[in-house]
Structure 1
């Protein structure tokens, strides 16, 4: 097992170096310049679409614009925003946050292109249901000769969609926060196949498995309805908590932004890495947070009830803005304003304890930990619900719609695996899968970018002429 963990870690560190930096950041920069920043001019229109002003219930598809974005955000606004931000700061210093922002701006353009294509080139599964996603963009947009690339995407998406990271971090949080409060010995364990398994972690995994099972077998319609209710609640609760903390440290905020920008270009001597290492940390954690270019979001946005591809691309681009520019920034400000990250700089640490320490320091009486625990619970469960659909969709593409549902059984089983596995292995496995998923997603989007540009010119011309109703 140790050999496998080392191999996965080494591969993840290599591919998330120069190769993915060029692909993800370079791809986003290409989309931004190629579009001439046009999508950025239509945020207000995107919000109107999200509000339901242009909903078309009679069109092909399964869910509304709002349900699509809620489901996509439910899978991105999760542990990456709480744990991942802490990992980025401890590994890359405050400067890593700046590069998360840069990656998010590029991600807005990437989401616009990839999700517009997801509707433009939809296909049908073996049951005749209309479906979207990178695998259909590749086969329908580039042709059947490119199908091996679509298969490549689906194979690694089966691993990337696994719930092991969310289950792992939620378990760690609950053990840390609730274990001492209820007097439960979280260190109590048993041996299984040579591994030391915590009883508390196993119980948490079993409870999560039951909760998630009650929703995911209902398919995308049930998942999207639950997500559309969870997402607004979790963002509002987290926002209120963070604003309360920041008001206590209001005077320090200008200095925090100054240190983020300064260290983004000067690096941090404590970390022993240069500018490139900091950029990589920011891009890597941003990709884990908002998934722009990875290919998961197009799978759900491609199922929207609409025949206007550009319209869904505009809705999708709101995702990185909400996820990284708002939620991740809020988490970063809490961690940096309390200063709890400083002893951990340059060390390999789990993200949850750092964020938890910040909340406990800012909110007295131990209440910070319990409130953060509530947020973590909602964030993690919402992500667990959404990711299952991505795996089902990929397995359906590979084996047929009826066999695709088998993935749900694999999915709920690996929730327990995630609850008891080591964080390092979990992180690197998902990171590696995301990296490999990005290759076909961004490559196909670049090749089909002229189609998006042509559709955009037509759509915005009709919008300007008042032809949208």
Structure 2
């Protein structure tokens, strides 16, 4: 009964209106900003890997640390379990719609990061606070939408991306790979989260800057290993993904078949779950960056979607289709496990997936703890942060025992609710986004015309 009710709510929230709002906002910003996610991607990557010195600027952590904190929250079970779920529901065509959602989402993520720095402020503890709740209130002038976003953000942190899907995935992986009981995993996770998050953004960013690059590189190399061993099949796989995006995929093996609309819905919903473009979560971390340029931090934010979906989710999706695991009777982590065990050998593939999942999911937990903390601070003040942290830790301990299907439905629902006020804010502040962007690049182009090289900027 509960499952049916939640499924109906999920289908309503993630129906055509929200999909159109997500994709439409990204499309509008893509056109309005002149394909910024393509033309300015080299500059964005330069700002990530060769950042300017901003130690004397306002903020709590470096731009790179802020990006890693955001990536720690986005690179998680969505990249492994979420992609498998999308392909299981929508077939290979779902991967194409994940690409489209990510391409448009890069423009959305840029706008979110820009507004986060533009409207950020210090809290009573002297820490930077920013994100949709601040640009909705200070920029758009809507305290109601700002409070709604913060409330939904806490919901996502406590009952959505932040706890249950990640903890459940870690518990399953630890049990499969190392035969660790679920109750033990839940207890260990709760203790680790409590120890790390008590230090706030500085502690979380220190862990993120070390773990995120390592885990991402390890996982991508593992996927390349599968592709190398099956290189002759790659052209056919790409063709299958492109064809399935616009046609009905017939039932085959353990796959029940899917229409184009189902592929689109699964791809966009799971793509947003993975890269969080449009949800408004990443700008909460971006607001903490030491920078005096909202445009530069927006560009840095934009690369998060590129790394998360265009690279990592693509690796998972191609691996699933390449090995035929998507046609099996298994789902979620088990499907990705099957793909890697068939692709590069049973033992090596099995451990690579499960160890990667452990890292991915754990960093997502600590990243979302921070997001929920900032939303709590906005609604209730700094005194409420300690209580929020205790509730978060208790839910982490309990998350290992929930059923996978129910977890993903709850996560989808609160994600959708969080996205709505944020997207309204992006649309309402579109002129601010455009004005800041054009002013920055006009000044930059003028400086280049005066003889300075881009490398010196």
TM-score by length of 2: 0.93
Counterpart of 2:123 (choices 122, 125, 128) is 125
Give the equivalent residue in structure 2 for 1:94.
Answer: 92
Counterpart of 1:375 (choices 344, 356, 362) is 356
Instruction: Tell me the matched-pair count.
Output: 442
Q: Does 1:422 align with 2:418?
A: no
Give the equivalent residue in structure 2 for 1:78.
Answer: 76
Counterpart of 1:227 (choices 200, 205, 208) is 208
- For residues 272-305 of structure 1, give each alpha carbon's deviation from its aligned partner in whole angstroms, at most 9, with x where no partner exists: 5422111111100000000000011010011111
Shift of 1:52: 4.5
Shift of 1:465: 2.4
- For residues 414-463 of structure 1, give each alpha carbon's deviation from its aligned partner in whole angstroms, at most 9, with x where no partner exists: 11221000111111111111101101111101110111111111111121
Give the equivalent residue in structure 2 for 1:327.
Answer: 312
Contact in 1 for aligned 2:91/2:258 (Cα 8 Å): no
Q: Does 1:279 align with 2:264?
A: yes
Contact in 1 for aligned 2:94/2:263 (Cα 8 Å): yes
Q: Distance in 2 between matches of 1:350 and 1:220?
A: 35
Q: Distance in 1 between matches of 2:118 and 2:138?
A: 9
User: Which runs of structure 2 are paired with 1:145-156 in the superposition (5 Å)?
Assistant: 146-156=142-152
Q: Distance in 1 between matches of 2:40 and 2:110?
A: 11
Give the equivalent residue in structure 2 for 1:165.
Answer: 165
Residues 365/15 of structure 1: CA separation in 2 closer, same or farther (3 Å cut) = closer
Q: Distance in 2 between matches of 1:463 and 1:225?
A: 32
Residues 72/450 of structure 1: CA separation in 2 closer, same or farther (3 Å cut) = same
Return 5+ residue gaps in structure 2 as ranges: 449-455
Give the equivalent residue in structure 2 for 1:269.
Answer: 250
Give the equivalent residue in structure 2 for 1:288.
Answer: 273
Contact in 2 for aligned 1:123/1:140 (Cα 8 Å): no
Contact in 1 for aligned 2:37/2:103 (Cα 8 Å): no
Shift of 1:350: 3.8
Shift of 1:39: 4.3
RMSD of aligned Cα (Å): 1.5
Q: Does 1:303 align with 2:288?
A: yes
Contact in 1 for aligned 2:93/2:260 (Cα 8 Å): no
Q: Distance in 2 between matches of 1:267 and 1:211?
A: 46
Contact in 2 for aligned 1:160/1:434 (Cα 8 Å): yes
Counterpart of 1:436 (choices 417, 420, 439) is 417
- For residues 394-424 of structure 1, give each alpha carbon's deviation from its aligned partner in whole angstroms, at most 9, with x where no partner exists: 1111110121232111111111221000111
Give the equivalent residue in structure 2 for 1:22.
Answer: 20
After TM superposition, which residue ranges in structure 1, 4 or more long, deviate above 4 angstroms?
none
Give the equivalent residue in structure 2 for 1:215.
Answer: 196
Give the equivalent residue in structure 2 for 1:445.
Answer: 426
Q: Distance in 2 between matches of 1:331 and 1:365?
A: 17
Contact in 2 for aligned 1:119/1:132 (Cα 8 Å): yes
Contact in 1 for aligned 2:93/2:243 (Cα 8 Å): yes
- For residues 295-338 of structure 1, give each alpha carbon's deviation from its aligned partner in whole angstroms, at most 9, with x where no partner exists: 11010011111121101000011011110010001111111111
Contact in 2 for aligned 1:173/1:353 (Cα 8 Å): no
Q: Distance in 2 between matches of 1:414 and 1:233?
A: 27
Q: SS in structure 2 opposite 1:305?
A: coil
Contact in 2 for aligned 1:334/1:358 (Cα 8 Å): yes
Give the equivalent residue in structure 2 for 1:206.
Answer: 187
Contact in 2 for aligned 1:67/1:224 (Cα 8 Å): yes
Residues 244/273 of structure 1: CA separation in 2 closer, same or farther (3 Å cut) = closer
Return 5+ residue gaps in structure 1 as ranges: 185-199
Give the equivalent residue in structure 2 for 1:464.
Answer: 445
Contact in 2 for aligned 1:216/1:388 (Cα 8 Å): yes
